[in-house]
Structure 1
Amino acid sequence: MLELPELRFDFNAYPYLTPELPGVEGRIRQQPRDFQVYEVPAYSPAGQGEHLFVHIEKEGLTTRAVLEFLRDRLGIGEAQIGVAGLKDKHALTRQWFSLPARYQSRLEVLYELPGVRVLEAALHPHKLRVGHLLGNRFRILLRCPEAPQVLARAETILHRLAQQGVPNYYGPQRFGLGGQNPIRGYRLLKEGRLHSPPWLKKFLSASLQSLLFNHWLALRLEMGLFDQVIEGDVAKKHDTGGEFVVQDAAAENPRAQRFEISATGPLFGKKYREAQGPARVLEDQVLQGYGLSRQDFAARRGDRRLIRFPLRDWGVEASPEGLWLSFFLPKGAYATAVLREVMKRNPEEGGLEDEALEEAGP
């Protein structure tokens, strides 16, 4: 039987950027409307074309549940339905779907699905595809009994995150029931046997990639290399998205301190850009800790992911129910990465991630 390293995801095991700042006790998602997510599209529909863009508000439903309802009730091939990203089930969310324009007259069928409201619809020449969004705006209620007394504490943490960036950990939604999906992904990688749909195989492999990235990020934080670059890093420019290999860390680190560039970590695969020198040694150290090599990921495409993301348009206010936190995050970033710094624990403790296997970010 395959000998497994420790592969269970544990959000509480990772270091914090702000360990010296005490957290705020409380609970999230006590009701779906406590967790509000509004998709910010990369572009507006043009008003003409072969595809219908539909802006939907949903509560208590996964994105896939809406997609499958459209597929089954309208008889649309799943490949013809487009979404820019996946949204949480235990939340009030607004997002765009696209479907062939010929179904425009049958949109009222969506009102048969409890928890769904159509906000607007417009035509566009092209199908909506994953990643076609700027990011998401969040408004989240942290239910805590002494909100006015801990307001300043939350403000201090959020201000620090806005200055230095948020550790870009993958959150609990990526790892499934009890954080066990990386174990299944590891077995799939090593043994290649899994009788499941292709989307699930892809998701399980991605969960293992994500766990390795989180390990790399944690290692950089422990080494004091969160907001710095080292020789051989693949760094990314925040304004243009351009990547380059760091040749002279001393020359580039002032830009990192100004939040103009950041290091990127590996999502191992056949087409990702490989680090060099000392930066590659750190990536090798992560792989070796799990008994893996780059060749094990030859069937995966691979990519690189920023070590941190900016926290923009943030605010916090006290209410009788608790603290309302609001902020904008770029696509692929997890709100739970912000919340764990504020709360100083896994904000999803209680198991909501267990019910949202498919609700992961890109």
Structure 2
Amino acid sequence: MPDLPNLRFDFNAYPYLTPHLPGVEGVIRHLPQDFQVEEVPAYSPLGSGEHLFVLIEKQGLTTRAVFEFLRDRLHINEAHIGVAGLKDKHALTRQWFSIPARHASRLESLAELEGVRVLEQALHPHKLKVGHLRGNRFRILIRATGQATLPRQAAEAIMRELEQQGVPNYFGPQRFGIGGLNPVKGYELAKKGKVHSPSWLKKFLLASLQSLLFNDWLALRLEEGLFAQVIEGDVAKKHDTGGEFVVQEAALENPRALRFEISATGPLYGKKYREAQGLARALEDRILQKYQLERSHFASRRGDRRLIRFPLTDWGVEEAPEGLWVRFFLPKGAYATAVLRELMKRNPEEGELESEIEE
């Protein structure tokens, strides 16, 4: 392999949106209940139908662990189990599952799974599917270490700026595997082509490489002062409708970007996605050239566009004897760690947690 820039994911290597504001010292996830996540569904169950929606609170368990208990211990066909998203093991989380309504009586046995509580149940005509959520509400304790007290005003100043400009939509550490090494494996796969690995693993590793390249693109836009504006050839997205369009005249579109109505999108290289043009495409090419890659290396993967930023809403900061509680709502696909790294001015997930959440 040629001598290339480091392909290992390092969250501390990326620029911050708020480097001029000091970070808040402390640690997260000292206890699972320090990191609380509540799923916000895209719709409410109708109250009738052949599927039972179940709101489950879990602690110290992955979503997969609950899924496998429903499948293996309650003998529910895995094809009939629905879930909208993955939630972390090292947290207190509330999320919806769906099962066939005819199996409702089996839920009593969930009490055998330590760390799980059933909070609500309701009928719906259709199975819950991945992506059927609006986003997640977070309540996270940044726990003080030693005798230090954490400055609430400093945290609030950062949150206000993120509210105004948006949060850099970096993929978080959970995307890159233990030690951040999955992009290295994905690079080998992209360069060598056929590798004897299961197809699911190939997709997973290539997705990790796609994510690293997106993060590099986002970092470049921040360094070039192009975070909260669009340039000629950008594929921009409307925040209200999700509609995409290619920017022809940046001067005409940037007032909308300043009002947070539209934002630039970055590439998840692959096939069948809208490609940037002109100046914007040249920036994307710089990322590929950095790693001696071409778009053709991703021909086996479906491409996509990802927003450069996401809105921070419903936020607050509360002082507590243990430290600072911060709360906020994030749209689906956004990572809470992108907010926390701005607050803490470092990778908040310094340890190698077993984590699966894409918030």
Total equivalences in the alignment: 357
Deviations 1:268-309 (A, max 9, x none): 111111001110111111111112111111111111100000
Q: What is the alpha-carbon distance in structure 2 between the residues aligned to residue 175 and residue 328 of structure 1?
A: 23
Map 1:104-115; keep pairs closer than 5 Å: 104-115=104-115
The answer to whether the 8 Å contact 1:147/1:318 transfers is no
Moved more, 140-149 or 164-173: 140-149
Unaligned runs of 5+ in 2: none
The answer to whether the 8 Å contact 1:188/1:194 transfers is no
The answer to whether the 8 Å contact 1:234/1:274 transfers is yes
Q: What is the match of residue 258 of structure 1?
A: 259
Shift in CA distance, 104/234, structure 1 to aligned 2, threshold 3 Å: same
Unaligned runs of 5+ in 1: none
Please tell me whether residue 339 in structure 1 is matched to residue 348 in structure 2: no
Q: What is the alpha-carbon distance in structure 2 between the residues aligned to residue 86 and residue 220 of structure 1?
A: 29
TM-score relative to the length of structure 1: 0.95
Q: What is the alpha-carbon distance in structure 2 between the residues aligned to residue 77 and residue 203 of structure 1?
A: 25
Secondary structure of residue in 1 paired with 2:140: strand
Q: What is the match of residue 328 of structure 2?
A: 327
Q: What is the match of residue 136 of structure 1?
A: 136
Q: What is the alpha-carbon distance in structure 1 between the residues aligned to residue 336 and residue 163 of structure 2?
A: 14
Moved more, 322-331 or 74-83: 74-83
Map 1:281-296; keep pairs closer than 5 Å: 281-296=282-297
Map 1:40-189; keep pairs closer than 5 Å: 40-145=40-145, 150-189=151-190
Secondary structure of residue in 2 paired with 1:74: coil
Secondary structure of residue in 1 paired with 2:135: strand
The AA in structure 1 aligned to 2:195 is R
Q: What is the alpha-carbon distance in structure 1 between the residues aligned to residue 3 and residue 113 of structure 2?
A: 45
Shift in CA distance, 311/176, structure 1 to aligned 2, threshold 3 Å: same
Deviations 1:153-194 (A, max 9, x none): 101000000000000000001111110111122223233324
Secondary structure of residue in 1 paired with 2:347: coil
Q: What is the alpha-carbon distance in structure 1 between the residues aligned to residue 303 and residue 155 of structure 2?
A: 36
Shift in CA distance, 127/269, structure 1 to aligned 2, threshold 3 Å: same
Q: What is the match of residue 317 of structure 1?
A: 318
TM-score relative to the length of structure 2: 0.96
| Structure 1 position 344, deviation (Å) | 0.3
Q: What is the alpha-carbon distance in structure 2 between the residues aligned to residue 74 and residue 33 of structure 1?
A: 27
Secondary structure of residue in 2 paired with 1:61: coil
Map 1:198-347; keep pairs closer than 5 Å: 198-347=199-348
Q: What is the match of residue 13 of structure 2?
A: 13
The answer to whether the 8 Å contact 2:4/2:290 transfers is no
Sequence identity (%): 76
Q: What is the match of residue 30 of structure 2?
A: 30
Deviations 1:324-353 (A, max 9, x none): 00000000000000000000000001222x
The AA in structure 1 aligned to 2:233 is G
Secondary structure of residue in 2 paired with 1:40: strand
The answer to whether the 8 Å contact 1:148/1:318 transfers is no
Moved more, 220-229 or 237-246: 237-246
| Structure 1 position 148, deviation (Å) | 5.6
Q: What is the match of residue 195 of structure 1?
A: 197
